[in-house]
């Protein structure tokens, strides 16, 4: 019986290193498979993006209108208006920029800048302080200013020169 135990002991000693070797080989194969899948997936998605950019690089139909670059005209000096709220004097300072896409139309509108500034001063001074302290109130005022300037541009130049009126600074006191 001792001979049988002695014969089994060397066999099991040899089996342990072989089992560890199989485990190491299995881990290396799994890592290589993970790296391969990662590289393959990256290549697949990058080649897909390259194909999309090649399609996008094709010439655009010349019949479609191309949006011109934005031109920003800062109205200087800033508007300063006063109004009363609950018997207390309130002040508002607004720096305004006009977003246009046509320089020629902007030059035609610049001739009427005193009228434009007058409209904006009257609009700003007629506001309610409680409404202006909210973001929604400020956005509503910006939209009203845009509509007022677009109306003037339509009357004086015959087209909607100004795309948007933007507030670059708005201070309430």
Quote the percentage of the chain above a pLDDT of 90.
23
User: Is there a domain that residue 54 lies in?
Assistant: yes
Structure tokens belonging to residue 21: 């070797």
User: Is there a domain that residue 63 lies in?
Assistant: no
- The span from the CA of 43 to the CA of 47, in Å, is 6
Tell me: do 90 and 135 sit in the same domain.
yes
- The span from the CA of 117 to the CA of 110, in Å, is 11
Strand partners, 98: 73, 165
pLDDT band at 146 (very low <50, low <70, confident <90, very high): very high
Tell me: do 54 and 90 sit in the same domain.
no
From 14, 33, 58, give the residue that closes a domain.
58
Residue-range definition of the domain harbouring residue 168: 71-172
User: Is there a domain that residue 32 lies in?
Assistant: yes
What's the pLDDT tens digit per position in 27-71? 999 988 888 888 888 888 888 766 666 555 555 555 656 678 888
Strand partners, 165: 98
User: Is there a domain that residue 66 lies in?
Assistant: no
Tell me: do 43 and 83 sit in the same domain.
no
166: CATH: 3.30.1130
Whose CA is closest to 173, among 97, 64, 83, 52?
Answer: 83
Whose CA is closest to 108, among 163, 165, 161?
Answer: 161
| Predicted pLDDT of residue 90 | 86
């Amino acid at each position: 019986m001792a001979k049988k135990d002695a014969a089994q002991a060397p066999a099991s000693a040899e089996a342990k290193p072989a089992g560890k070797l199989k485990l190491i080989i299995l881990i290396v194969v799994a890592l290589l498979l993970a790296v391969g899948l990662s590289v393959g997936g990256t290549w697949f998605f990058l080649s897909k993006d390259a194909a999309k950019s090649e399609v996008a690089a094709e010439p655009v139909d010349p019949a479609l209108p191309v949006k011109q670059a934005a031109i920003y005209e800062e109205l200087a000096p800033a508007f300063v208006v006063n109004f009363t709220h609950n018997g207390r004097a309130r002040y508002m300072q607004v720096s305004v920029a006009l977003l246009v896409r046509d320089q020629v139309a902007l030059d035609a509108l610049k001739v009427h800048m005193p009228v434009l500034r007058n409209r904006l001063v009257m609009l700003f001074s007629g506001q309610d302080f409680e409404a202006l302290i909210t973001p929604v109130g400020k956005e509503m005022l910006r939209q009203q200013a845009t509509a007022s300037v677009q109306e003037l541009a339509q009357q004086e130049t015959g087209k909607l020169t100004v795309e948007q009126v933007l507030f670059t600074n708005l201070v309430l006191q």
